[in-house]
Amino acid sequence: MNSLNRRKFIQVCGSGLALATLPFSLHAASGARVVVIGGGFAGATAAKYLRLFGPDLQVTLVDPATAHVSCVGSNLVLTGETPIGELTKPFAALSDKYGVELVSEPAVSIDAANKRVSLASGATLDYEHVILAPGIDFEPVSGHDFNVMPHAWIAGAQTTLLQEQLMAMADGGTFVIAIPKTPFRAHTAPYERATVVADYFQRNKPGAKILILDANAAIAGMNRTFTEAFTGVYRDIVEYVPNVTVNAADALNRRLDITREGTASSVTAEVINLIPAQKAGKLLFDSGLVPDGSKFAPVNPLNYASTLAPEANVHILGDSQSTGQAKSGHMANSQAKVCVDAILRDLAGLAPDPAPKTTAAAFPPITRRTASWTTTTYSFDAASMSMVASSSAEAPKPTKDIRKEEGPGWLINLLSDSFA
């Protein structure tokens, strides 16, 4: 993608273009209630666009939090460059500006047959359509204490804990990042974490090192960009080790027991960022929407309806679903618009768009002054009934413009399109 096209892409990424020309009257949707569970990039975007394009709909957003803390951009919180408040987006904007009704408690299950959501308080909400977007849950690692070895993979208190640990680390100390097997949330983000922290160490912690223990056989996102960074500008700081399985954690001794190519050993470090393997949000398992033996929820990518309850108007978005598209905030925002479009069409008695497209993007900082970018577009493939990556690109090299203007501009657009 050349620079002009990339700028255009950044400008439209959050504009809801797919919905701008809906070819039917929305009044057929009059009064119908849509309940959205989870106010992250997927759920917040869906709630906002349902009200924008279906002003007669009743839209209820259920989330125990009153604000969403964005993981996107959160690696820069670790080094103090971005205050976490800049990434904290209150849901009040969705109610004040768009009339979304807010319910501040967790949903505990879905009764698909009766179109009813049960909340933790015992209250219930009936719906015509429900959107489930509860993000991720973690597969446990034996001995893993999140208060000692933060995952910092759901932003908020975990992010600031890891930040405090990194800031308090002595010069010459070692920071371990343990990366799980794919698929996990944001394939570029653990490596971005390494470049951002390596840059911080270079300027603030003489002699400090980063050891990346990757369960995968190779760098899982933006391989060329991060290989160049780890073997180039950060060759004296970062050691990258593939094919490492973490078997157990010892919080007291800050130790990981690992296996690499059949050989068991252990690693100790001052700061350990253990990112566990991931699966769909618990709500989806509790509601019977993930098949036995699977980790994510199957959906029809034309409308994100659960394939386990195809006629029940249960839609699943974002990191919890299993279409194989990138698990990313940009993608969650994109899926939300396809799903909203499909719900509005359904309420008007129409079939979903037969050829949806979605996009994912990231603009990882590589140094204090440079950043890179990647984008992937997915198109619906009717033969396989799946979304396939139809084009993909990565910056030829990190540049100052991307770090100073294009990356921050993209993030501001994405946050404001999803939450404001």
Ligand X SMILES: Cc1cc2nc3c(=O)[nH]c(=O)nc-3n(C[C@H](O)[C@H](O)[C@H](O)COP(=O)(O)OP(=O)(O)OC[C@H]3O[C@@H](n4cnc5c(N)ncnc54)[C@H](O)[C@@H]3O)c2cc1C
Q: Which residues bind ligand X (CB under 6 A)?
A: 37-43, 62-65, 68, 71-72, 74-75, 106-107, 133-135, 153, 185-186, 189, 281, 283, 318-319, 327-330, 332, 360, 362
Least gap, CB of 83 to ligand X (angstroms): 16
Residues 6+ apart with CB under 8 A from 228: none
- Residue 37 or 366: the one with the smaller Cβ distance to ligand X is 37
Least gap, CB of 407 to ligand X (angstroms): 9
Which residues of 27-158 form beta strands (DSSP E)?
A: 33-37, 58-62, 67-69, 88-90, 101-103, 107-111, 116-119, 124-126, 129-132, 136-138
- Structural contact between residues 163 and 170, judged by C-beta atoms closer than 8 angstroms: no
Least gap, CB of 332 to ligand X (angstroms): 4
Least gap, CB of 284 to ligand X (angstroms): 9
The single-letter code of the amino acid at 250 is D
What gap in Å lies between CA 334 and CA 45, rounded to an integer? 9
- Structural contact between residues 171 and 204, judged by C-beta atoms closer than 8 angstroms: no
For tokens 């490492």, what's the residue? Answer: 244
- Residue 319 or 406: the one with the smaller Cβ distance to ligand X is 319
- Residue 183 or 250: the one with the smaller Cβ distance to ligand X is 183
Q: In the chain, count H helices and then E strands.
A: 11, 24
- Residue 332 or 347: the one with the smaller Cβ distance to ligand X is 332
Least gap, CB of 380 to ligand X (angstroms): 20
- Structural contact between residues 410 and 12, judged by C-beta atoms closer than 8 angstroms: no
Residues 6+ apart with CB under 8 A from 204: none
What gap in Å lies between CA 68 and CA 61, rounded to an integer? 12
For tokens 């993930």, what's the residue? Answer: 290
Q: Report which secondary-structure segment, H or E, holds 362.
A: strand 357-362
Question: Exposed/middle/buried for 52, CB within 10 Å: 0-12, 13-18, 19+?
Answer: middle
- Residue 69 or 233: the one with the smaller Cβ distance to ligand X is 69
- Residue 328 or 377: the one with the smaller Cβ distance to ligand X is 328
- Residue 29 or 77: the one with the smaller Cβ distance to ligand X is 77
- Residue 98 or 285: the one with the smaller Cβ distance to ligand X is 285
The residues that bridge with 131 in the sheet, in sequence order, are 36, 315
Residue nearest ligand X (C-beta atom): 40
Which residues of 288-385 form beta strands (DSSP E)?
A: 299-300, 305-306, 314-316, 357-362, 374-381
- Residue 29 or 361: the one with the smaller Cβ distance to ligand X is 361
- Residue 29 or 339: the one with the smaller Cβ distance to ligand X is 339
Where would I find the H helices in 87-133?
Answer: 92-98
Least gap, CB of 135 to ligand X (angstroms): 3
- What letter does residue 14 receive in the DSSP assignment? T
What gap in Å lies between CA 98 and CA 87, rounded to an integer? 21
Least gap, CB of 262 to ligand X (angstroms): 31
Look at strands 255-260 and 263-268 and give their pairing: antiparallel
The single-letter code of the amino acid at 157 is A
Least gap, CB of 25 to ligand X (angstroms): 30
Least gap, CB of 220 to ligand X (angstroms): 13
- Residue 29 or 220: the one with the smaller Cβ distance to ligand X is 220
For residue 338, the SS3 value is: helix
What gap in Å lies between CA 243 and CA 276, rounded to an integer? 15
Least gap, CB of 293 to ligand X (angstroms): 22
Least gap, CB of 3 to ligand X (angstroms): 19
